[in-house]
Amino acid sequence: MPDRPNILFINTDQHTWDVVSAYGYPYVKTPNIDRIVRNGISFMRSYSTDPVCGPTRASWMTGRYTSELGTPFNGGHLHEDIPDLGQVLNSNGYQAFHSGKWHVDGRDVRNSFQLLYIGNRPIGAGGGEYYDGAITHAAIDFLSRYEDSDPFFLQVPYVNPHDICQCEHDHEEKTIPDPIEQGILNEEDLPPLPANFHYDERETVVHKVARRMDECLIHWPIQRKVRHWSAIQWRYLMWQHHRLVEKVDSEIGLLLEALDKSQFRDNTLIMFTMDHGEAYGQHQMFQKFSLYEASVRVPFIVASLGDSLDVPKDRLDETHFVSGVDLFPTVCDYAGIDIVDGVQGMSLKPLVEGQNPAWREFAYIESNGWARSLVFDRYKYVGEYIPFGTEQDLEPIGPDPDRIGLEQIFDRVEDPDETHNLAYQPEMRDMLKRFRQLMMDFEGQLNRRRMTAQRPAAQLLNWGKQIRGYWDAHPELEEMRIQF
């Protein structure tokens, strides 16, 4: 294997983890992502660090969790002293290039990567219909003309299927006509409602205040309308999401074909993942921002079109928990670069090469500032901290067992759709206690830092006050907290 291969990092946005035909999903055709799957190893226990665009991308670029970065939500601000992947690569013999969506809040991409395409201004939340073609063509042009002797790292972050958000926002002010009544589709063209459309309502307060209640913190205008959607409208949302997946898959196909015909085919490592998923009706949710699998689970694939790199073909790894923090150390490992201090991730290179290193017991996920999840082999734990509702919330809460709020436990074997919360069953108390302690221990070793940028700090305080206000207005919630 070449000591320092070229690396192509491809990612899609808001692409639900299993909406890939190679993984057996019957309602979508993704021949080009399937090609990546066939030419590599898919890590099937892979999770976002935080199920939102900006936070996830900040973790990709730094190898750290969002509470360490100042990016607990879109609009955060990456701490200026933390180096990102582009800066590290450029300082160690690689040339780092970028074509596509950046969305690492607080960090100017121009200070980290050589730009092939980013639009007249940084690509925002939508517009994949217009941007993705240009993103592809800029990357193809690069592959046809790069002649430097230094190896390259090229990241190609696509926008779609994120344009599904526009379909949802369209419902804020108008009702989308029934596609069957219009004669656009037949009912059999629509995928069925998700098996977990109905859900266990014993959710965390953070989730209720952020996503469920009247005047919820996140996308209340959409939530107000979807409460009245018919099953057909939910199924039509799924159908639209899947078509956007197929649209971005076609762009990936053009890029792969260009790589296949280029001089870099045999010495280029491909990495593919998604930032987070789209719920499209699972648990009667839309978009992301939650700790359910539809939002937080993503595939991570390491592949190569050629045979000179030590990469297995068409293999599924269903054993090791992988996190978004692992991208940074994995790239550094393949590039022969020492990993900088403070990185929380682990290199996947030994796993790709068939070694059996010591590995993490669970995946750790943060969400909406105060929510947490640990994903284990059999069970999934979801918890939250109760905000102070004061300026103290600028210091990330945790580890603090006295401020744990409501909790959920799901049996990933018996209940993979996460429809029955086991946290209140007496026989789960010892396990719940163990999960809490593991979370305390894990958070105790994080370099969690105070939010300092003015605008995101104001948002964090506002959210904290509203979540704490819900607790204060509902004293009966105290009886639902599980005490030891």
Domain ranges within the chain, ordered by starting residue: 6-352, 363-480
Give residue-wise pLDDT tens across range 335-388.
999 999 999 999 999 999 999 999 999 999 999 999 999 999 999 999 999 999
Predicted confidence (pLDDT) per residue in 99-120, tens digit? 999 999 999 999 999 999 998 7
The percentage of the chain sitting over the pLDDT mark of 90, rounded to a whole number, equals: 93
The hierarchical CATH code for the domain 363-480 is 3.30.1120.10
Question: Tens digit of pLDDT for each residue in 47-104?
Answer: 999 999 999 999 999 999 999 999 999 999 999 999 999 999 999 999 999 999 999 9
pLDDT of residue 174: 80
For the chain, give the mean pLDDT. Answer: 96
Q: What is the pLDDT of residue 2?
A: 56
Q: Are 229 and 307 in contact, with CB atoms under 8 Å apart?
A: no
> What average pLDDT does the segment 323-346 reach?
97
- Give the tokens for residue 172: 């804020």
Count the alpha carbons within 13 Å of 100 in the hemisphere toward its beta carbon.
28
Q: Are 277 and 294 in contact (CB under 8 A)?
A: yes
Mean pLDDT to the nearest integer, 160-180: 88
Chain centroid offset of residue 300 CA: 11
Q: Is the distance from CB of 106 to CB of 225 less than 8 angstroms?
A: no
Quote the tokens at residue 341: 């201090």
Query: What is each CA distance from 133 to 89, 99, 118, 128, 208, in whole angstroms?
Result: 27, 11, 12, 8, 38
Mean pLDDT for 395-414 is 96
What whole-number distance in Å separates Cα of residue 177 and Cα of residue 45? 38
Question: What pLDDT does residue 378 have?
Answer: 98
pLDDT at residue 1, as a whole number: 47
Of the candidates 377, 330, 379, the one whose C-alpha atom is nearest the C-alpha of residue 357 is 330
Rounded distance between C-alpha atoms, residue 87 and residue 398, angstroms: 30
Q: How far apart are CA 358 and CA 381, in angstroms?
A: 22
Look at 41-55, 114-128, 194-208, 294-308 and tell me which has the smallest mean pLDDT: 114-128
Pick the CATH number of 6-352 from 3.40.50.2000, 3.20.20.100, 3.40.720.10, 2.60.120.590: 3.40.720.10
| CATH topology agreement for domains 6-352 and 363-480 | no
Q: Compute how many other C-beta atoms are within 10 angstroms of the C-beta atom of residue 331.
A: 27
Angle at 393 between CA 390 and CA 395, to 5 degrees: 140
214 CB-near residues (< 8 Å, 6+ apart): 220, 224
Q: What is the pLDDT of residues 244-289, one digit of tens each?
A: 999 999 999 999 999 999 999 999 999 999 999 999 999 999 999 9
